[in-house]
A and B are shown apart, each in its own frame.
Chain A
């Protein structure tokens, strides 16, 4: 039987603020346990929450960038549940009045664009980190109270690939906005996925399974693809899908049952009485809207328009925000955008990964790479020589100094090249005969001999053309 796949995704994203959502406690990652907390984070009696302005600003930035309608009257609600990761016994969230509703993000899969609806974005607080040992549980409240936004998609995705593209597009947008460091491996972006199947064309949704805490984009795709197959096999065999929460097991590459859902938990939501409704200033929202900064898609379009790059190259350059910024710096003094893009995307990235560096820690200043590309462009050095220079640039040397020290300048003087070519041709009569008998490869050999004679400094393109010209004369 054929099925329609229905996928919806909930993302929890930690906001990059100094203090917590409702307290002046320090936000942190990897600090000593329970050293970034205060009385509010620990739920001590008599403490009252206050709302972090920067967290609201960052949540607004996300809403605006993702085209959500904003509710400027901010209200919070209490989600009551009794568990040790929340010392107050409840979580402050926005159940009834999310900050934003009805937005979207555009994803690109297999050359097709698709709009994925975003149902809502709301603000809330993170819970404590727990370590379950054999007998007991250890709790570190450092994370408790960290500002979060929850981004709930519409069930608009139909494959693991689309879901992965959605998470990646969101991740990239949130990173460009600077609202979060979106590190899935550190848990600052966490992903829960709902998957269900229904008979093709049916308007009734099937029973969904939720896969919790996917920690990488590739696992999002793998977990969904597995889950689709699992549900399909059950349905094809005449079975029924039970609503459940599952997790993805990386070793077996399967989804594993965590718990069956027996009715929904009653969290007894009610409006948070300790935080009065807050009216946001429309001028403030307008100011935030006008200063969002450039988003990935806009940057891609600009790179294609201003630098004449292909969509593929532009995509590679926006994938990593800092790499794109580095490229822009290179382009301030560089004459050939395409060549510069090739160097940034190819050689630079390769050498960074080889030396365990990042674009932020690279020892090759953008101005040096621009100089190198310019030297290739104006034929001072050949592409082959450039690779040699580049290897030395990693040690922090200026390319112009390297070229000078190595005496590497490319010979583009026609008379000198011609002299060398004629010497080579005189010495290799057999190759000329071979070429005339249809062995094109002989040209490569002859050019190679000229390059050797010039100690690699002859302009290769020029040498190639002149060798052909001189052979014809013989």
Chain B
């Protein structure tokens, strides 16, 4: 497990392609620690025999979307958050999986 320090969050931000300055990174470290601490409280609850709840409602639904209405955005809109684009494509560092 990586150490969740400022460097970790800066690395993560870089991967997610947004800017994170030192002050913001440090704030994140702090927030993360606080959040992690809160989670330790959850661990103290005895959940033996308690069924997991995944959905907010017990009853299944029946809704299925009709395959008729089409909604698309323009290429310009699609690329509006992109820092780098080429011929209508999103450009990311090359990672071949």
Contacts and interface: CB of A to CB of B under 8 A. Distances in A.
Interface of A: 17-19, 23-26, 32-39, 42, 50-56, 73, 82-85, 131-141, 270-271, 273, 276-281
Q: Is the interface of B mostly helix, strand, loop or mixed?
A: loop
Contacts of A54: 66-67
Contacts of B75: 32-35
Interface stretch (B18-26, B32-40, B42-50, B57-65): B57-65
Given A35-B88, A51-B65, A136 B78 contact: no
B60 A279 contact: yes
A123 to B, nearest CB: 12
Q: Is the interface of A mostly helix, strand, loop or mixed?
A: loop
Contacts of B79: 34
Interface of B: 15, 54-55, 57, 60-75, 78-79, 84, 86-97
B63 A50 contact: yes
Given A18-B67, A35-B72, A271 B62 contact: no
A132 B94 contact: yes
Contact of B65 (A52, A140, A273): A52
Contact of B67 (A17, A38, A73): A17
Contacts of A273: 54-55
A17 B69 CA distance: 12
A434 to B, nearest CB: 76
Contact of B70 (A19, A82, A83): A19
Interface centre among B73, B74, B84, B86 (most CB of A within 10 A): B73
Given A137-B95, A278-B64, A34 B88 contact: yes
A137 B73 contact: no
Nearest to B57: A276
Nearest to A279: B60
A323 B13 CA distance: 56
A53 B70 contact: no
Contacts of B90: 34, 84, 138-141
Contacts of B94: 132-137
Given A52-B64, A56-B64, A277-B61, A138 B86 contact: yes
B2 to A, nearest CB: 14
A270 B70 CA distance: 29
12 contacts: A19-B70, A23-B71, A34-B90, A35-B78, A50-B65, A51-B63, A51-B64, A54-B67, A138-B87, A276-B61, A278-B60, A280-B62
Contacts of A35: 72, 74-75, 78, 88
B96 A132 contact: yes
Interface centre among B57, B69, B88 (most CB of A within 10 A): B88
A83 B92 contact: no
